[in-house]
């Protein structure tokens, strides 16, 4: 058995798993708190990749592009929630599925009109576009290793937010009984908007990290959305 190849595939599995975790965490937040089936979550992942490619081209820096992408996708999520999704909370899941499927078509065509049908490339800085020896004789791409580290950091940050902050307390209360926290005077609409924006930012983070590895192209969110749904079904909502 080639142990170096086995180590590389294990790390690749961690890298893909953490990308799926970022997507699944955002999607399960939206479903668990808002009871909203959002098939357009993969489109927010795609927009994160496109935003990062655009901002990286403008600033000539991947790190600055990534920092600008996160608030941009958060604001996009807030706008989508306020304009398109807020009226669907009282509707059944079939209506939500149909509406968010329409959002997939909208985002795909909007992307085609703005960026064109040809895929984009996100260039990496030199320090990420090289290999790192994890153990002697076992080089591994620095960017894939960075994805693993960022994924674990975000997982720890999410755990801290959900379990140690007031926002996390409201999120957990909203997941348990949103009518009760509304009766206690909490602005449930604002909470829903913040939760959806946070979920969109997580999807955008996954998209900007996947962009340099995969091609940034129209419809890139659909295939990974299927894997994300599988993760949620196996792991359970919440």
The string of pLDDT tens digits covering residues 7-53 is 889 999 999 999 999 999 888 888 878 888 899 999 999 999 999 99
User: Cα separations (Å) of 130 from 9, 127, 179?
Assistant: 18, 6, 52
pLDDT mean across residues, the chain: 90
Q: How far is C-alpha 120 from the geometric centre of its chain's CA atoms? A: 19
pLDDT at 108: 95
Q: Which two tokens stand for residue 118?
A: 């040809």
Find tokens 């994890």 and name the residue: 134
- Cβ–Cβ contacts within 10 Å for residue 233, how many? 10
* Phi, psi (degrees; rounded to nearest 5) at 149: -65, -45
Q: What is the mean predicted confidence (pLDDT) over 226-237?
A: 83
pLDDT at 16: 92
**pTM of this structure:** 0.93
| 84/86 Cα distance (integer angstroms) | 6
User: Cα separations (Å) of 38 from 9, 74, 92, 103, 176?
Assistant: 31, 15, 12, 9, 20
Confidence of residue 237 (pLDDT cuts 50, 70, 90): low
């Amino acid at each position: 058995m080639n142990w170096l190849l086995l180590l590389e595939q294990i790390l690749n599995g961690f890298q893909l798993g953490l990308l799926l975790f970022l997507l699944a965490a955002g999607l399960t937040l939206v479903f668990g708190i808002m009871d909203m089936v959002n098939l357009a979550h993969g489109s927010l992942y795609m927009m994160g990749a496109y935003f990062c490619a655009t901002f990286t081209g403008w600033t000539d820096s991947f790190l600055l592009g990534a920092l600008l992408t996160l608030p941009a996708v958060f604001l996009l999520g807030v706008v989508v929630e306020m304009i398109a999704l807020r009226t669907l909370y009282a509707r059944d899941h079939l209506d939500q599925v149909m509406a968010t499927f329409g959002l997939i078509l909208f985002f795909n065509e909007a992307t085609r009109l703005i960026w064109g049908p040809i895929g984009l490339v996100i260039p990496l800085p030199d320090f990420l576009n090289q290999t790192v020896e994890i153990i002697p004789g076992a080089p591994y791409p620095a960017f894939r290793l960075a994805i693993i580290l960022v994924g674990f950091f975000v997982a720890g940050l999410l755990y801290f937010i959900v379990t140690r902050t007031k926002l996390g307390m409201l999120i957990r209360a909203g997941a348990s009984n949103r009518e009760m926290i509304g009766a206690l005077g909490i602005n449930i609409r604002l909470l829903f908007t913040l939760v959806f924006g946070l979920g969109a930012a997580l999807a955008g983070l996954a998209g900007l990290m996947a962009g340099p590895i995969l091609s940034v192209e129209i419809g890139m969110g659909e295939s990974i959305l299927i894997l994300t749904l599988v993760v949620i079904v196996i792991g359970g909502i919440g």
